[in-house]
Structure 1
């Protein structure tokens, strides 16, 4: 089994709609996203995935959220999705 891991960090703010507590207010976080790819076969170059491409992909997604209000991002706003940690992780998976 082969495994490749890449990570990125970004800073952003959000608030949780309908939440009864402090997180209902606008507040910020420094986020760390870790993506791990697993597989049993390597390509002809001996790679599971090109690390450069993986890192570029997660940085591109993080850039969409960095230093903004996550609630205002079209994915969350247009689909009425609360920006919980779980939904933000799913956003990275879907993207």
Structure 2
């Protein structure tokens, strides 16, 4: 496998980990201006999640890689994203399942999980590739909590 290179986040944490994962999902963008994307279609999404922190847990992990995969893969793989009403809303453009909103949603889901960990790591960035030529990078503003 060729090692992809992702944009890096500048931070002062001691540890940084990145988890690559993929999931297959369908979606549509419920806006007339979305053109062909208004119709139901699917993608194999490739995501990279960046987590950082200063303290390891009792197993020596910042966060277990398998937990990051479970959070995203079990929720989104082989689904129609628009059907996930907790994450997406066909009536609110800020919650249409666009690449930008899906990247933000992944970051929020990961951070909610991290907030429950004693060592309090932070999700610094989500890189989400929707097609071979199109991707989005989401970085929460400092101090933002979900």
Instruction: Give the TM-score band, short-chain normalised.
Output: 0.7 to 0.9
2:48 alignment counterpart:
34
TM-score w.r.t. length of structure 2: 0.53
Q: Which runs of 4+ in 1 moved over 6 A?
A: none
Cα distance in 2 for residues equivalent to 1:24 and 1:10:
21
Structure possessing the higher relative contact order (Cα contacts under 8 Å, 6 or more residues apart): 1
Superimposed CA distance per residue, residues 61-82 of structure 1 (whole angstroms, 9 cap, x where no aligned partner): 2221111110110221387421
Find the partner of 1:57 among 63, 68, 79. 68
Decide which structure has greater helix share.
1
Query: 5+ unaligned residues in a row in structure 2: which ranges?
Result: 1-13, 110-146
TM-score w.r.t. length of structure 1: 0.77
- Does the aligned pair in 2 maintain the 1:10–1:62 contact within 8 Å? yes
Please say if 1:70 is aligned against 2:90.
no
- Count of aligned residue pairs for this structure pair: 92
Query: 5+ unaligned residues in a row in structure 1: which ranges?
Result: none
